[in-house]
Amino acid sequence: GTSADQDSRFSNKDKKLLKSLNFPPEFNEKIDMKKIKLDVIKPWMTARITELLGFEDEVVIDFAFGLLEEKNPDPKMMQINLTGFLEKNTQPFILDLWRLLISAQQSKSGIPQKFLDEKKQEIMRNKEHQESLKQRQEAVMDNIRRRKEAEDQDLRKESPHRQESTTRQRRSRFVSNC
């Protein structure tokens, strides 16, 4: 008899599949997961898988996390294992993920440079927005001050005799009536 290893009916289908598929050159780079902050990568993975599927599937997301949490993840095997779920979107997803992991591995912080750049842009946008709001607020306050000054000038222009009666009748909108 023959053993299961010798019988072609029981050959490793993953090995055949690995040989038959073409993978991007980035997949040849090994990743040291100790250098990478996975808690920064996981939200991106969740959002990207949800976007590709059109709905949030916790089973697929957790499965992808599990594949990535191995000591030495293999992008080729990850692609093969996720193809049943993500279909034609699997290779672009794994390629994007692997590029992020390469970038994170090269970064001192363990965070992909793309994420750092996006965060900087977000901070700059928020800062610009805050400055814009502050400028608008200052413009409104300047307008109020000008109106109050004009109102005060109008009151001073009136005769002193009329000013007393006018003051009683016409109080400034900008001064508390307490």
Paired tokens of 54 = 């059109």
Predicted pLDDT of residue 98:
94
Q: Shortest CA distance to 82 belongs to which of 47, 52, 41, 115? A: 52
Give the integer Cα–Cα distance in Å for 123 and 120.
5
SS3 assignment, position 139: helix
Cα–Cα distance list, 23 to 31, 76, 89, 95, 173 (Å): 16, 7, 14, 9, 73
- Tens of pLDDT along the chain (178 residues) come to 656 555 555 556 667 767 777 788 888 899 888 888 989 999 999 999 999 999 999 999 999 999 998 888 999 999 999 999 999 999 999 999 999 999 999 988 888 989 888 889 999 999 999 999 999 999 999 999 999 998 888 888 875 555 455 455 556 566 665 5
pLDDT of residue 53: 93
The model's pTM is 0.64
CB 48 within 8 A of CB 93: yes
90 with 76: CB under 8 angstroms?
A: no
